[in-house]
Amino acid sequence: MSSPLRIHRQAGVTLLEIDNPPVNAASAALLRQLREALAQAAADAACQAVVLYAAGRSFVCGADIAELQGPAAQPRVDLFNPVMDALESLPKPVVCAMHGMALGGGLELALACHYRVAHPDSQVGLPEVQLGILPGAGGTQRLPRLVGARHALEMISSGKRVGAQAALDMGLLDRLSADPPRAAGLAYALDLLREGAGPRPTCLRQVDSGGLDAAALRQARADAEARPQYPARLAIVQCIEAALTQPFRAGLAEERRLFEQCRLSHTSQALRHLFFAQRQAAKLPGLPADTPLRPIRKIGVIGAGTMGRGIVTNFLGAGIPSVLLETRQEALDKGVEHIRRTYDGQVAKGRLSDERVRAALDCLRPSLDPADLADCDLVIEAVFEDMQIKQDVCRMLGVRCKPGAILASNTSTLDIDVLAQASGRPADFVGMHFFSPANIMRLLEVVRGRETAPDVLATVMRLSKTIGKTAVVSGVCYGFIGNRMLESYLREADFLLMEGASPRQVDRAIENAGLAMGPCRMLDMAGTDVAARIVIEQEKNGLRPDDPAYRAVVGRLLETGRLGQKAGKGYYRYEGRQAVDDPEVQALCEELARRHGIARRDRIADQEIVERCLYPLINEGARILEEGIAYRPGDVDVVWTHGYGFPDYLGGPIFMADHVIGLPVVRDRLTHYADVKGNAQGYWTLSPLLERCAAQGTTLSDTHTNRT
């Protein structure tokens, strides 16, 4: 393996070049070499100054996150801080020259240098909070000394990147240079030597509050305490307080203590799991990274309804010319008008410039003529969720689209293989399941059909990155990964309502468990008609359990015109956007309970609601793994955290089952409900994989190793 550090010497300057692809992460090996190189530079009489810079696309993008795993106490901090000390205490000027991105431990290296220069296009940031930790290599103590406590708190708490000009303005950088990093660093070092400028240790500077007064700190503390699921937020405020009130070394000791506390928290373990799971999801077993891609220069979307117009917006935003096809002028106009209004809203909020919007709209070609699809490289159908209608559209695509075009369906439940056959080109066919609102939700489920060609899959995965989506591949089954698991969750929510819980109680219990929105509010937003029609489709296709009470509440809501928020009533009654409890819904649930012989209870514990909604969902996730529908446990977790509002601090349903609840508990509670509720429909039957893992004391994550 090549060395992550190269040492060059030029004009009395020692140039330390970091080269540790792909992102120049500060691994243990790199830190050891840096320490040695700095000791040599200190001892080398011919060395008058040092420049630290990196090869590749970016400066150092952080500590090696993989090395943050494991129980051993303090290993990373103990490797980092001696390097920081060596940089800072070198008796010769040390310049850091950055390009691309300088993140986390990478930026902390720069903060410990005496002078900082960066390319005007570069960005700097301390994103540790997004991993549930805090900058643990002196960042919380050095940044306030350079930019003041207020800016430092804002940068570290948000984890957001800052552009080079803003970083220069706040005093984080000393200079911008458009030269390559080595040349920029060398020129700066030579200027410093000419001027006789010496070392300038950051740790010796005073901390300026920058306007962060006691009231602002109290507020920051209160905000952090309000979100105890993310302990790093409070720890960051504590570190900034330490920087303001304690000497540098004492602040560093506090940072070190809190860093380790956060690193060992469930939250950080969950967030780090998701970081790698998200990246792993892009890699497909059996699909080499160099699989040739089909060029995508123009796309088509069929259907200008909610999904179609949301989908097309993604491509417009990426500057890809897009045809939006409808059958009726009125529907087309409505779709285009909606897209315009969405953009206007973005401009009003300052999120997009007029120029960007004009460029996006220039890419849009509304059309009523299927001939306009002839030169599209990818066409996605987003028509009504009805097998017959979708088959007809896919047949049309097979005839109209050019050879080699990728044909895709946005179905959320239907059999991709049946649609692929209808197109007559099953190798070109793939599922692209966007989530509503499709221009906002980051998840894309890519459904691999029986005959989907490898290059089609590879192309769609790459394209998903271009349009800013996180893609996860699912095999073909009812509902794919996400909606299949959702089914048991919604089933139990309806049963709980018939047994006596109110929509508000169910939602509150689920939201207290961490999900962004409870099932009743979610269905009211999505439209209870959409949900009920899915159950009707299941029935038509023989997929509905032989149980007349199955999801009976949502069916009844459709029959009574309670279509959700858009109708002003669904599981709740709506006063504007405000959901209000409605006695009519209680009456409706009582009547259904009577009809289906379901006993009602006065009190249902929140714990029961959470277990009955979430544990069958986990069980279904285990089945999905065992059937190979998902490649890996992390894929299931990415689907749920990115598409269904599952809390990231719990890592997703599989991580939560493995590491937060424990599989034996999940197994025992599922068995308990099978006993008390009966299991005629198999609702509580354990997944063999889950049962085996629970018995053997292993986890779903351990045993399922269908990895690249």
Bridge partners of 5, per DSSP, are 18
> Which contacts (CB < 8 Å, 24+ apart) does range 545-552 have?
545/681, 545/683, 546/681, 547/681, 548/596, 549/495, 549/498, 549/592, 549/596, 549/598, 550/491, 550/681, 551/490, 551/491, 551/494, 552/494, 552/498, 552/592, 552/596
- Chain-centroid distance of CA 100 in Å reads 22
Would you state the structure tokens that stand for residue 366, as one six-digit string? 């509304």
The answer to the question of residue 112 lying near ligand 3H9 (CB under 6 A) is no
Would you say how long the chain is, in residues? 708
Continuous segment of H or E residues that includes residue 245: helix 231-245
Interface residue with ligand 3H9 among 5, 15, 20, 80 (CB under 6 A) is: 80
Interface with ligand 3H9 (CB under 6 A), residue from 4, 93, 132, 135: 135
Per the rule left: phi > 0, alpha: psi between -120 and 50, beta: everything else, 319 is: left
Rank residues 15 and 23 by Cβ distance to ligand 3H9 and give the closer one: 23
Stretch touching ligand 3H9 by CB under 6 A, among 102-110, 347-355, 410-418, 580-588:
102-110
Contact segment (CB under 6 A) with ligand 3H9 among 134-142, 198-206, 221-229, 508-516 equals: 134-142
Which residue in 65, 510, 513, 535 binds ligand 3H9 (CB under 6 A)?
65
Judged by CB under 6 A, does residue 648 bind ligand 3H9? no
Looking at the Cβ atoms of 66 and 361, the one nearer to ligand 3H9 is 66
Mind giving me the DSSP string for 182-198? Answer: HHHHHHHHHHHHHHT--
Q: Which of 17, 88, 128, 627 is catalytic?
A: 128
Choices 41-49, 75-83, 143-151, 574-582; region in contact with ligand 3H9 by CB under 6 A:
75-83
Closest to ligand 3H9 by CB, 33 vs 423, is: 33
Smallest gap from residue 103 Cβ to ligand 3H9 (A): 4
Nearer to ligand 3H9, 268 or 619 (CB): 268
Shortest distance, CB of residue 200 to ligand 3H9, whole angstroms? Answer: 22
Query: Among the candidate windows 132-140, 295-303, 354-362, 559-567, which touches ligand 3H9 by CB under 6 A?
Result: 132-140
- By CB under 6 A, the residues from 189 to 248 that bind ligand 3H9 are none
Q: Does 104 bind ligand 3H9 (CB under 6 A)?
A: yes
Task: Give the three-class secondary structure for 472.
Answer: strand
Burial environment of residue 338 by CB neighbours within 10 A (0 to 12, 13 to 18, 19 or more):
middle
Q: Is 108 a catalytic residue?
A: yes
130-138, 362-370, 404-412, 604-612 -> range binding ligand 3H9 (CB under 6 A): 130-138
**DSSP class of 570:** S
Choose the stretch contacting ligand 3H9; rule: CB under 6 A; options: 63-71, 357-365, 645-653, 661-669.
Answer: 63-71
Q: Build a one-symbol-per-residue string for 139-178: x at contacts with ligand 3H9 by CB under 6 A, - elsewhere.
A: x---------------------------------------
- Taking each helix axis as running N to C, give the angle between helix 688-696 and helix 606-626, from 0 to 180 degrees, rounded to the nearest 10: 100
Among 88, 108, 254, 611, binds ligand 3H9 (CB under 6 A): 108
Q: Per rule CB under 6 A, is residue 317 in the interface with ligand 3H9? A: no
Site residues for ligand 3H9, window 264-303 (CB under 6 A)?
Answer: 279
Min dist CB 233 to ligand 3H9, Å, is 15
- Per the annotation, the verdict on 154 as an active-site residue is no
Pick one of 105, 144, 310, 652: the residue that binds ligand 3H9 (CB under 6 A). Answer: 105
| Total interface residues for ligand 3H9 by CB under 6 A | 25
Listed in sequence order, the residues at least 6 apart from 275 whose beta carbon sits closer than 8 Å to its beta carbon are 65, 131
Cβ 141 to ligand 3H9, closest distance in Å? 12
Helix 519-526 and helix 503-512: axis angle, to 10°? 110
In whole angstroms, give the CA distance from residue 699 to residue 663: 7
SS3 percent helix, strand, coil of the chain, rounded to 5, is 55, 10, 35
SS (H, E, C) 581-606: CCHHHHHHHHHHHHHHCCCCCCCCCH
Could you say which of 17, 36, 67, 108 is catalytic?
Answer: 108
Considering only 15, 18, 25, 124, the residue that binds ligand 3H9 (CB under 6 A) is 25
Q: Of 4 and 104, which CB lies nearer to ligand 3H9 in the complex structure?
A: 104
Among 62, 231, 479, 500, indicate the residue that binds ligand 3H9 (CB under 6 A).
62
Measured distance CA(270)–CA(276) in Å, rounded: 10
Q: What are φ and ψ of residue 322, in 5° steps?
A: -135, 135
Q: Which two tokens stand for residue 628?
A: 């190979």
Report if residue 100 touches ligand 3H9, rule: CB under 6 A: no
Alpha-carbon distances of 479 from 208, 415, 614, 620, 629, rounded to whole Å: 56, 9, 17, 12, 11
CB 643 within 8 A of CB 441: yes
Give the nearer residue to ligand 3H9 in terms of CB position, either 23 or 630: 23
Is residue 60 within the footprint of ligand 3H9 (CB under 6 A)?
Answer: no
On whether the CB atoms of residues 61 and 106 are closer than 8 A, the answer is: yes
Q: Which stretch binds ligand 3H9 (CB under 6 A): 18-26, 378-386, 479-487, 536-544?
A: 18-26
Binding residue for ligand 3H9, selected from 33, 51, 76, 610, defined by CB under 6 A: 76
638 binding ligand 3H9? (CB under 6 A): no
Q: Which of 4, 93, 127, 651 binds ligand 3H9 (CB under 6 A)?
A: 127
Could you say whether residue 595 binds ligand 3H9 (CB under 6 A)?
Answer: no
Of the candidate residues 50, 63, 383, 609, the single one contacting ligand 3H9 (CB under 6 A): 63
CA distance 585 to 561: 12
608 binds ligand 3H9 (CB under 6 A): no
Task: Output the smallest distance, CB 265 to ligand 3H9, in A.
Answer: 14
CB of 227 to ligand 3H9, least distance (A): 19
Give the nearer residue to ligand 3H9 in terms of CB position, either 256 or 569: 256
Q: How does DSSP classify residue 352? A: S
Contacts of 68 (CB under 8 A, 6+ apart): 76, 131, 133, 263, 272
Helix, strand or coil for residue 408? strand
Token match 């047949």: residue?
395
Judged on CB neighbours under 10 Å (0-12, 13-18, 19+), 399 is exposed
Nearer to ligand 3H9, 466 or 560 (CB): 466
Helices (H), 541-582: 552-559
Residue among 1, 2, 22, 43 that touches ligand 3H9 (CB under 6 A): 22
Least Å distance, CB 544 to ligand 3H9, is 40
Q: Which residue, 117 or 258, is less far from ligand 3H9 as judged by CB?
A: 258
Q: State the DSSP H helix or E strand holding residue 31, giving kind and residue range, or none if neither.
A: helix 28-43
Interface residue list for ligand 3H9 (CB under 6 A)? 22-23, 25, 61-66, 76-77, 80, 101, 103-105, 108, 127-128, 131, 135-137, 139, 279
Task: Report, as residue numbers or ranges, the catalytic residues.
Answer: 108, 128
